[in-house]
């Protein structure tokens, strides 16, 4: 496994586990802790990784990040906003919840 594939494997593991330590990751991937730290530096430039130190320290994926959650594109949002103008009652509530969850994640 090359360095790029290794970083993606580390990221994939962190997305599932949501938390780990450099020691745990090193053991899991059969590399030294320095290799994990180097990979985390590169991954943190692209992905929402938080590192904390101390007794309860470790590496975690930011709470707001959910990779399985689909987000809508601007081209998909535009017609939904137009249709939304004609809705009322329960239909409007449902449309608003869809837009909040998929078009504007993190706003709820």
Both 54 and 99 in one domain: the answer is no
pTM over 0.75, yes/no? no
Q: Stretch 72-80: mean pLDDT, rounded? A: 83
Q: Tell how strand 19-20 and strand 49-52 pair up.
A: unpaired
Do the domain assignments include residue 90? Answer: yes
Flag whether 66 is in a domain: no
Token duo for residue 84:
């939304």
Residues 12 and 50 in one domain: yes
Whether residue 45 is found in the same domain as residue 83: no
Distance CA(36)–CA(33), nearest Å, equals 5
DSSP conformation letters of 12-62: HHHHHHSEE-HHHHHHHHTS-HHHHHHHHHHHTTTS-EEEE-STT-EEEE-
**Owning domain of residue 13:** 3-61
Mean pLDDT for the stretch of residues 76-94: 91
**Total structural domains within the chain:** 2
* pLDDT, tens digit (0-9, with 9 covering 90-100), for 25-57: 999 999 999 999 999 999 999 999 999 988 888
């Amino acid at each position: 496994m090359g360095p790029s594939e290794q970083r993606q494997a580390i990221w994939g593991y962190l997305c599932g586990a949501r938390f780990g330590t450099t020691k745990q990751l090193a053991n899991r991937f059969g590399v030294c802790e320095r290799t994990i730290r180097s990979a985390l530096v590169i991954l943190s430039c692209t992905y929402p990784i938080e590192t904390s130190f101390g007794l309860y320290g470790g590496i975690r994926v930011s709470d707001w990040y959910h990779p399985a959650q689909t987000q809508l594109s601007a081209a998909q949002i535009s017609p939904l906003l137009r249709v939304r103008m004609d809705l009322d009652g329960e239909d409007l509530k449902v449309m608003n919840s869809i837009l909040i969850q998929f078009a504007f994640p993190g706003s709820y």
